[in-house]
Structure 1
């Protein structure tokens, strides 16, 4: 049973290496689907019927989504492999909160974007993921960084 974040990330990296040995993971995070983790917690076991657990990994070429085992936190079967260009168009409504952050991601074959809830434990990885897809930093090696305006420079007339 994987408890440490590093152990879970190693297991996901091994699963990705098995399907694509030449691709390297940039960041991986654990996520829970569903409306709100707070609401699902209040509903107890009934609430667990409405959520799915995933590992989302940004690699140098694609976004890989694995199902996560509920009890052991190990990556299970591969669900989606999404090219970076398509993934950039699929992410929306990124909300960074104190305990539970969320974003919406359009999964292939789904009629509307799926809400992915990310716990505080994985927030740094979510930040790298969103920066890699939406810009704001060179999170993906080889990806050009957009020029940033210097806020201290006075505009030229």
Structure 2
């Protein structure tokens, strides 16, 4: 019974080399098993015979990535030796969906020709490096949003086309709209001449450093009703009194 990955992959390549076309290159080989999540095995074992039934209904396969195809081989339950070829898919038409890379048990759904609906495949962490290599053939949109990123094909990247074949035509993107008219001249060019500012209002004051204009003299003060200081007051007329009253002496 082959336990090491290198030994199992060598057996798969030896098996496929007998039927592969000339010049075929083998890139990666992944061991998978069908059935519900292996994390549920502990629950199944609690029910008499249920755990044994689930274990016996699981099937095992090898998925082998080549330079042009993905080959699915059956695998022995007891010895892990590769069996007959179950399906061969072109790299640009690998019918896989809902791929989820996890810490221990990863999973994917593959549409096999012997089944009417996609079959769940579970991949142990032991084969994670090979799963990352196989991820280069996953079609766009097949990776689950909750999946851990693949090292060789991060989520959202297009899949690799077969060797020697062009990549599939992708949807042509609409060109970006033209940018608005540039309000500034190109770099290195002079700015356009601007309109002069309107003339300032007439300056009410002379420019700095110039004498102020001659001001008009104030009007002459009224005649002085009092004599200059030191001069006697003019003689006043005696008070004549008011009508009906005698004059004061």
Q: TM-score range by the shorter chain?
A: 0.7 to 0.9
| Structure with more helix by fraction | 1
| Preserved contact between residue 33 and residue 115 of structure 1 (Cα < 8 Å) | yes
Q: CA deviation at 1:128?
A: 1.1
Which residue in the other structure is 2:37 paired with? 36
| Preserved contact between residue 92 and residue 161 of structure 2 (Cα < 8 Å) | no
| CA 65–41 in structure 1, closer or farther in 2 if over 3 Å, else same | farther
Pick one of 84, 97, 100 that aligns with 1:95. Answer: 100
Query: How many residue pairs end up in the alignment?
Result: 145
Between the aligned partners of 1:70 and 1:117, the Cα distance in structure 2 is 15
Aligned-CA RMSD value: 2.4
Please tell me whether residue 8 in structure 1 is matched to residue 13 in structure 2. Answer: no
Q: Highest Rg: 1 or 2? A: 2
Q: CA deviation at 1:133?
A: 3.1
Q: Which runs of 5+ in 2 are unaligned?
A: 45-50, 140-152, 169-178, 180-249
Q: CA deviation at 1:21?
A: 4.6
Between the aligned partners of 2:91 and 2:72, the Cα distance in structure 1 is 13
Between the aligned partners of 1:41 and 1:7, the Cα distance in structure 2 is 30
Instruction: For CA contacts below 8 A with separation 6 or more, give which structure has more relative contact order.
Output: 1
Alignment of 1:1-157 (within 5 A): 1-22=1-22, 23-40=24-41, 42-43=43-44, 44-87=51-94, 90-134=95-139, 136=157, 142=164
User: What SS is found at the alignment partner of 1:19?
Assistant: coil
| Preserved contact between residue 91 and residue 162 of structure 2 (Cα < 8 Å) | no
| Preserved contact between residue 106 and residue 112 of structure 1 (Cα < 8 Å) | yes
Q: CA deviation at 1:143?
A: 6.7
| CA 54–117 in structure 1, closer or farther in 2 if over 3 Å, else same | same
| CA 46–34 in structure 1, closer or farther in 2 if over 3 Å, else same | same
Q: CA deviation at 1:24?
A: 1.6
Q: Which runs of 5+ in 1 are unaligned?
A: 147-156
| Structure with more strand by fraction | 1
User: What SS is found at the alignment partner of 2:57?
Assistant: coil
Between the aligned partners of 2:31 and 2:113, the Cα distance in structure 1 is 19
Between the aligned partners of 1:35 and 1:130, the Cα distance in structure 2 is 22
